[in-house]
Structure 1
Amino acid sequence: MKTVEYNFFVKEMSCASCVSRVEKALKKIDGVIDVSVNLATEKATVAANANVELETLMAAVDKAGYHAVKITEQNASGEEINQQASIWPIVIAVLFAIPFVLPMLFEPFGWHLMMPAWLQLILASIVQFGLGAKFYRSGFKSAIALSGNMDLLVAIGTSAAYGLSVYQLINGHDDHLYFESSVVIITLILIGKWLESRAKHQTTQAIKALSALRPQVALVRRNEQEVTLPVSQVQINDIVVIKPGERIPVDGVIIEGSSSSDESMLTGESFPVNKTVNDKVTGGAINGEGLIIVKTTAILADSTLSKIIEMVESAQAKKAPIQRIVDRISAIFVPVILLIALITLLIWGFITQDWQQALLHAVAVLVIACPCALGLATPTAIMVGTGVAARHGILIKDAEALETLHNINIVAFDKTGTLTVGKPELVEMDIMGTETPEQILSIAASMQAGSEHPLAKAILAKAKQFSYGQNITSVSGSGVMATIDNIDYYLGSERWMKSLNAYFVDMQDKISEFNHKGYTVSFLAKQQSEDKVVILALFGFSDVIKEEAKTAIEALHQLNVKTVMLTGDNQNAANYVGQQLALDKVVAEVLPQDKADHIYQLQQGDKQVHHYKVAMVGDGINDAPALAAADIGIAMGTGTDVAMHASSITLMRGNLFLIADAIDISRRTYNKIKQNLFWAFFYNLIGIPLAALGFLNPMIAGAAMALSSVSVVTNALLLKRWKARS
């Protein structure tokens, strides 16, 4: 049966236990295959059979005590859903809390500023049931569902402190009131949630920045008139006019004009890229100094920018494997905390017979136990890591890829178009006769004029570097044989030269040298006499190694990553590239269908290392099986769509440095996840025993709980300082 994926927002979640509850409710629906709920983005991603309807899923969320919201064009960025909490409840709570805090601060100095009991009751009631109403609503829904969340713990804890104070007040013991505990705890938690909301907003900046690149209108030429249309109405093959300084509204090909394109927000390329007729342009980039006319090649939904946003959103919505540990803990967290609080109350009560103090210790346990930090630890780091990677031209498909990438031991490369430029160049020439290099190139270029063969283009490109190139004229001939100034010239392979009985003079060493370097060798010869053909020169063609390839390989070695090249090219050519780049291993003459088998062999490792994590880097259709077989497939964005779809990571530029950058940001993100989980568990593992043993005042516990969530999100935001090598 066909599988579909649904995405929608889930409001009113407060912690990891909420996430667990929503996921459990959705998984109960027949036909649901997989569920992932992200606390940081407040988004649910559900894979289900086609017969499952979105309304059914959303109804299950509402029944669980939360609020599901459809994703529309208006709220797709999450702005309307994840709006930062208002500051006003915080201001009111602080103003109400100050009269409770000041007496505690001045008491050591002999100043007694405590308010009358009746005024404490009024202020505390407003905070408890007015500003704290959200905790009761959420906690009640959680309890009805026989589950638990952070809000339930807060509601029970503060109600206990408030209720004890009311009890004391009724019995005339107004010198032992604990209203300040409930008021200050609620105030601190509200402050913490507001700071958390503010920090979470910063984690979504990557998506917001990418979405902001979408122009709203385009100047389209139709029926010999220029009309301004919404970008959504632009069709494929429409002619779009883009003025200097404007943001390019569509993906397309330049059919008139030339300019430069600032693609930094899309690819991370820091310098503008020159564009002219037949060059592709990408929607979202900024047109430079020239007016260009572009023929549209993709509508809005299929544009490069839309695909980038979709990939980043997907990565941020999915869970990393390490999150499963947190999910298992979160499912039982609240019930366990409630049990610990009850045990604390009973033990302290029966041992000391001071049930008031016992209740306060139990309140401290309830308040400090915050599963919120656990829920935010992984997704916030993933969001910031994938966001900063996208800003530098590294698109990560999902959180699992980001987590797997940090363990990569080997990076396997395709050669052509990945480690090399992807088109042959004339790199070396050896002249046997008395002609000058200029004369030899002029003859060869004249013979190749008009040819579309890659080697012909290489000769013509070389010839244009010299002033004589402009004097080259096309001559009649048969492509590689031409008559120039009544002399017959031949340009071709060694085999053809031998069939012509060409005269080879002391050139075997040079031929062997060219072959050893992996060059494609061509010979230029002329008819010296009726029965004698002599070699004038031999040309060495090679697919030139990318300028940054060597230092990029060195960067991988610095990360303790081995490098391997898998290529269908001949052994000599492969060995030469391997030696130039100091690759750890070269495997040549590999058929496209066999590359996946070689990836599998690399993964098996050797006797010392039983298994390697292998990343495959490629850019062509023939690389797709190997990209899919690798633990991580990395596609060069300059390559084909097939390679990009088969890969886990796409590099928007052909710069090989991005591979080391991708591994580096993965390792840093994974370290942040581990740090966040450490702090989230640390707060609870240290705080709960201290509270149970009576060493924590409930207000201090509340401050610690609020701080835990804020510190986790803030730690993740430090990833934004990461800088790419490229």
Structure 2
Amino acid sequence: MITLPVHGMTCASCAGRVERALKKLPGVTQASVNLATETAAVEAPGVAMAELTASASAAIEKAGYEVPRSETALAVEGMTCASCSGRVERALAKVPGVLQARVNLATQEALVDHLALPDLPETLIAAVQKAGYEAHPRDDAGPTGPSPTAPTHRRTGLAAVPEGWQVLLAALLSAPLVLPMLGDLLGRHWMLAPLWQAVLATPVLLIFGGRFFVAGAKALRAGTANMDVLVALGTGAAWGLSLALWWRDDTGMPHLYFESAAVVITLVRFGKWMEARAKRQTLAALDALQALRPATATVLRKGQPVHLPIAQVKKGDLVQVKPGERLPVDGRVLEGRSHVDESLITGESLPVAKGPGDAVTGGAVNGEGLLTVQATALGAESQIARIVRLVANAQAAKAPIQQQVDRVSAVFVPVVMALAALTFIGWWWSGAGLPTATIHAVSVLVIACPCALGLATPATLMVASGLAARRGLLVRDASALEHLRDVAVVAFDKTGTLTAGQPRLLATLTPAAGPSEGEALTLAAALQAGSEHPLAKAVLAAQAGAASPSAPPAPLPPTTGLRAVAGRGVTGQIAHAAVPRTLALGSGPWMAELAVDRSALQAAADAQAALGRTVSWLADVSPGQPPALLASFAFGDPARAESATTVAALQAQGLRCVLISGDNPGAAHHLAQAVGITEVHAEVRPEGKSALVAELKESLPPGQRVAMVGDGINDAPALAAADVGLAMAHVDGGTDVAMHTAGLTLLRGNPWGVVEAIALARATGRKIRQNLFWAFAYNVVGIPLAMLGLLSPMVAGGAMALSSVCVVSNALWLGRWKAPAP
């Protein structure tokens, strides 16, 4: 039985409707709803727990109510191979209330989507422990490091000794057992007495290899088998056989296999140590992000600067940032101007100019100016903290190819054990004797390498997601990288994606008998002063930009009676040349209502409109005289500097580029022509964009995919409908939408990031295929050789350790990948 929380019920009728919806589900034998506790209890004996949870939640939500959900991240200790991660995943999925569980071997983490039940996190930890592993909540430390109240997990005894020292001690004890074998090659007899062999090998087996026996026993008790079982059985059999032969021997110098047990343990531990070192390198990008934000901030309290720990800074505080310092918080600039280096966050190499009103990100480096910043986001809500969480979650997620590998790994260990038993029976049956048959079976157990299979994909994805973060590409969904390499069609939104999303004044037109362009611009700017309308900002920016050191901008004349006319424009009185005049600035239809004659500029304005530009008109409508046309202004949202280069690069790779825009056909076709796109769909509403993306997907042959690039705000349906969604980040809040909608977010707001993302996805795919090849090759070649008696246990142990190291090291080579240049 499962109990689900239900929000939104207000009366007995609501409870009855939920109960009826649950009873209609296949397999449900009983369902009851408690209005007072806002819970629903469902019983379905023949249905898997995760399936029942998902179907019951969907039924409740379809009935019009909410089932609150949550996500728990656990750090899992003790997993050594893909079989382990699969067992933990199955254990978590069986917990009532769990919707989905994803376990990543490389990061040693589990991500669990579940119902928001109060005691469920503790139940999840207990389920992992029952499966034979240790678990604790993942310390989601912010960029400043672990919280002072976060639980600590101290190691005691042998576990407190660094892994490298344990490997060294095991090697020192094993070396005297190996040296006699080298002496045999030189004709020297250096073989130790059986007692000394046992004295040296036993501590290696029981102390440094004890973890394999403990973990293997837990696995067997849980009804499964993993790499620990293989190692424990193999080394235990070699050690036990040596004891038996020593006990039965009368010559005083029998042929024993203590060295096999000791050397295999040492080599496997060495491989695990190297693997752990390599995996730490894969997290270097996240470590760099976490170390960005300083631990203290200079906060203005009653106008005086006070140095405070970052934990004491509150939202809304004024923070002073000196030249050369890192910004401690996300916020908006209130005073000062400077250039800010955001390269470690966005990947943008050049510092960005910042002034009053501009948003800044914590962790960026202030340039030459003193800034006063009002804090808008702190701690877990800061940009860096969100990026770290999303990248960590992407690393913990599983790509589709990894799910296939996990299915292979689930049967791998039982098959290997069966092959080892078959090897033992075959050699014994052929008359080779018990020692020989046992040693060959041990070789089969030891050569088998589920570790490499389990690490091949996640280790590569860890490196790729960290590498992407350094390039300003935020990977939210691990499957996005896998799908992106198969993309055949890239659909672009227009505004905010291929264009900057900020209108600019592109042309000022005046009649022959009217004012000069500069005078007209000054009059329009006076009417627009203080307005937040995008076109008003464009006029003010153009008027300020028209200045030069030798000719500063003309002062704006005083205005009175400013009034915005909804959907039409703005009007007000301006004292121009000591004469008060009433001016109107707005649309063509409004000018027609005001009886303004626009014939002098109509042809030129129509030409601007044909280019997809928005035209506004400025007229003198002072009472007591005929309305007079003063000027017209053409506004446009030009293409980004990188848009044409991006499209050309994608088309050079054989990709089909499509423009999907809600703008008018003139503007859409003009932009498409400017950037080199021939397939254009204009005047498409948001819901129409998702339908169009679905049509593009249906038109492609199997195996080819569609990517959608948008600004992440009004393009959310299309981003979700595409095989891969890439969202352009914006400082106005679009970043939040982008992070939760698309599989990848382009933090730099630069379309060239699409080219980089596709190149990285293809490089990642090649590296994953290489790793899987080597992981399978080790087993496909090594196991038959071991069964034929051509590999000793020591060689087999070395090959097993080497396979994991090779896979992780090969994944690290992806860090040398160079992004394509525009």
Is the structural similarity TM-score above 0.5?
A: yes
AA in 2 matched with 1:465: A
Cα separation, 1, equivalents of 2:183 and 2:635: 86
Deviation, structure 1 residue 234: 1.8
Range 373-382 or range 534-543, more displaced: 534-543
Give the corresponding residue for 1:155: 232
> Residues 23 and 490 (structure 1 numbering): CA distance in 2 closer, same or farther, change over 3 Å?
closer
Asked if the contact 1:502–1:532 (Cα under 8 Å) also holds between the matched residues in 2, the reply is: no
5+ long unaligned stretches in structure 1? none
Match among 676, 681, 688 for residue 771 of structure 2:
676
Match among 121, 141, 148 for residue 198 of structure 2:
121
- What is the CA deviation profile of residues 294-349 of structure 1, one whole-angstrom value per residue up to 9, with x for unaligned ones? 11112212111111111111101111121111221222221111110010011111
Asked if the contact 2:597–2:629 (Cα under 8 Å) also holds between the matched residues in 1, the reply is: no
Give the corresponding residue for 1:44: 110
Aligned-residue sequence identity (percent) comes to: 46
> Residues 632 and 122 (structure 1 numbering): CA distance in 2 closer, same or farther, change over 3 Å?
same
Match among 232, 239, 250 for residue 172 of structure 1:
250
Matched, 1:10 2:76: yes
Matched, 1:656 2:737: no
Asked if the contact 1:562–1:584 (Cα under 8 Å) also holds between the matched residues in 2, the reply is: no
Match among 65, 69, 82 for residue 132 of structure 2:
65
> Residues 221 and 83 (structure 1 numbering): CA distance in 2 closer, same or farther, change over 3 Å?
farther
Cα separation, 2, equivalents of 1:344 and 1:167: 20
- What is the CA deviation profile of residues 136-171 of structure 1, one whole-angstrom value per residue up to 9, with x for unaligned ones? 211222222221111211111112222222222221
Cα separation, 2, equivalents of 1:191 and 1:600: 51
Deviation, structure 1 residue 98: 2.3
Give the corresponding residue for 1:710: 805
Asked if the contact 2:455–2:808 (Cα under 8 Å) also holds between the matched residues in 1, the reply is: yes
Give the corresponding residue for 2:687: 593
- Secondary structure at the aligned position of 1:343 is classed as helix
Give the corresponding residue for 2:311: 232
Cα separation, 1, equivalents of 2:488 and 2:228: 44
Asked if the contact 1:203–1:380 (Cα under 8 Å) also holds between the matched residues in 2, the reply is: yes
AA in 1 matched with 2:656: K
> Residues 120 and 265 (structure 1 numbering): CA distance in 2 closer, same or farther, change over 3 Å?
same
AA in 1 matched with 2:665: Q
Give the corresponding residue for 1:516: 610
Asked if the contact 1:447–1:480 (Cα under 8 Å) also holds between the matched residues in 2, the reply is: no
Asked if the contact 1:603–1:611 (Cα under 8 Å) also holds between the matched residues in 2, the reply is: no
Give the corresponding residue for 2:32: none
Give the corresponding residue for 1:279: 358
Range 693-702 or range 167-176, more displaced: 167-176
Range 484-493 or range 609-618, more displaced: 484-493
Cα separation, 1, equivalents of 2:721 and 2:432: 67
> Residues 563 and 469 (structure 1 numbering): CA distance in 2 closer, same or farther, change over 3 Å?
farther
Match among 541, 544, 547 for residue 461 of structure 1:
541
> Residues 511 and 175 (structure 1 numbering): CA distance in 2 closer, same or farther, change over 3 Å?
same
Give the corresponding residue for 2:647: 553
Cα separation, 1, equivalents of 2:631 and 2:520: 11
Asked if the contact 1:480–1:492 (Cα under 8 Å) also holds between the matched residues in 2, the reply is: no
Range 141-150 or range 48-57, more displaced: 48-57
Deviation, structure 1 residue 614: 2.3
Range 568-577 or range 260-269, more displaced: 260-269
Matched, 1:135 2:212: yes
> Residues 257 and 165 (structure 1 numbering): CA distance in 2 closer, same or farther, change over 3 Å?
same
Cα separation, 2, equivalents of 1:633 and 1:234: 36
Cα separation, 1, equivalents of 2:355 and 2:377: 19
Cα separation, 2, equivalents of 1:610 and 1:185: 47
Deviation, structure 1 residue 397: 1.0
- Structure-2-length-normalised TM-score: 0.81
Aligned-residue Cα RMSD (Å) equals 3.1
> Residues 526 and 6 (structure 1 numbering): CA distance in 2 closer, same or farther, change over 3 Å?
closer
Asked if the contact 1:448–1:480 (Cα under 8 Å) also holds between the matched residues in 2, the reply is: no
AA in 2 matched with 1:62: Q
Asked if the contact 1:605–1:611 (Cα under 8 Å) also holds between the matched residues in 2, the reply is: no
Range 532-541 or range 271-280, more displaced: 532-541
Cα separation, 2, equivalents of 1:636 and 1:84: 47
Give the corresponding residue for 2:55: none
Give the corresponding residue for 2:429: 350
> Residues 198 and 455 (structure 1 numbering): CA distance in 2 closer, same or farther, change over 3 Å?
closer
Match among 148, 163, 168 for residue 91 of structure 1:
168
Give the corresponding residue for 1:31: 97
Cα separation, 1, equivalents of 2:744 and 2:110: 23
Asked if the contact 1:644–1:650 (Cα under 8 Å) also holds between the matched residues in 2, the reply is: yes
Cα separation, 1, equivalents of 2:181 and 2:447: 21
Give the corresponding residue for 1:195: 274
> Residues 519 and 193 (structure 1 numbering): CA distance in 2 closer, same or farther, change over 3 Å?
same
Range 197-206 or range 400-409, more displaced: 400-409
AA in 2 matched with 1:420: T
5+ long unaligned stretches in structure 2? 1-66, 561-569
Asked if the contact 2:332–2:356 (Cα under 8 Å) also holds between the matched residues in 1, the reply is: yes
Cα separation, 1, equivalents of 2:476 and 2:362: 21
> Residues 473 and 237 (structure 1 numbering): CA distance in 2 closer, same or farther, change over 3 Å?
closer
Asked if the contact 2:271–2:802 (Cα under 8 Å) also holds between the matched residues in 1, the reply is: yes
Give the corresponding residue for 2:53: none
- Secondary structure at the aligned position of 2:340 is classed as strand
Cα separation, 2, equivalents of 1:96 and 1:249: 51
Deviation, structure 1 residue 691: 0.8
Match among 708, 728, 736 for residue 636 of structure 1:
728
Asked if the contact 2:661–2:683 (Cα under 8 Å) also holds between the matched residues in 1, the reply is: yes
Deviation, structure 1 residue 231: 1.8
Deviation, structure 1 residue 712: 0.8
Asked if the contact 1:311–1:397 (Cα under 8 Å) also holds between the matched residues in 2, the reply is: yes
> Residues 40 and 447 (structure 1 numbering): CA distance in 2 closer, same or farther, change over 3 Å?
closer
Matched, 1:721 2:816: yes
Range 221-230 or range 131-140, more displaced: 221-230
Cα separation, 1, equivalents of 2:591 and 2:121: 71
Q: Across the two proteins, how many residue pairs are aligned to each other?
A: 718
- What is the CA deviation profile of residues 200-236 of structure 1, one whole-angstrom value per residue up to 9, with x for unaligned ones? 1111222222211232222222344433333223221
AA in 1 matched with 2:813: L
Give the corresponding residue for 1:574: 668
Cα separation, 1, equivalents of 2:161 and 2:714: 48
Deviation, structure 1 residue 12: 1.2
Cα separation, 1, equivalents of 2:275 and 2:475: 25
Cα separation, 1, equivalents of 2:645 and 2:171: 56
Give the corresponding residue for 2:719: 627
> Residues 392 and 84 (structure 1 numbering): CA distance in 2 closer, same or farther, change over 3 Å?
farther
Asked if the contact 2:69–2:114 (Cα under 8 Å) also holds between the matched residues in 1, the reply is: yes
Deviation, structure 1 residue 191: 1.2
Deviation, structure 1 residue 473: 4.3
Cα separation, 2, equivalents of 1:482 and 1:502: 21
Cα separation, 1, equivalents of 2:264 and 2:764: 33
Match among 45, 49, 56 for residue 123 of structure 2:
56
AA in 1 matched with 2:770: Q
Range 360-369 or range 238-247, more displaced: 238-247
Asked if the contact 2:596–2:619 (Cα under 8 Å) also holds between the matched residues in 1, the reply is: no
AA in 2 matched with 1:671: R
Give the corresponding residue for 2:43: none
Give the corresponding residue for 1:583: 677
Asked if the contact 2:485–2:762 (Cα under 8 Å) also holds between the matched residues in 1, the reply is: yes
- What is the CA deviation profile of residues 26-78 of structure 1, one whole-angstrom value per residue up to 9, with x for unaligned ones? 22322222111111111112222333522222112112221112334548899
AA in 1 matched with 2:721: A
Range 267-276 or range 515-524, more displaced: 515-524
> Residues 465 and 447 (structure 1 numbering): CA distance in 2 closer, same or farther, change over 3 Å?
closer
Range 451-460 or range 532-541, more displaced: 532-541
> Residues 277 and 458 (structure 1 numbering): CA distance in 2 closer, same or farther, change over 3 Å?
closer
- Secondary structure at the aligned position of 1:176 is classed as coil
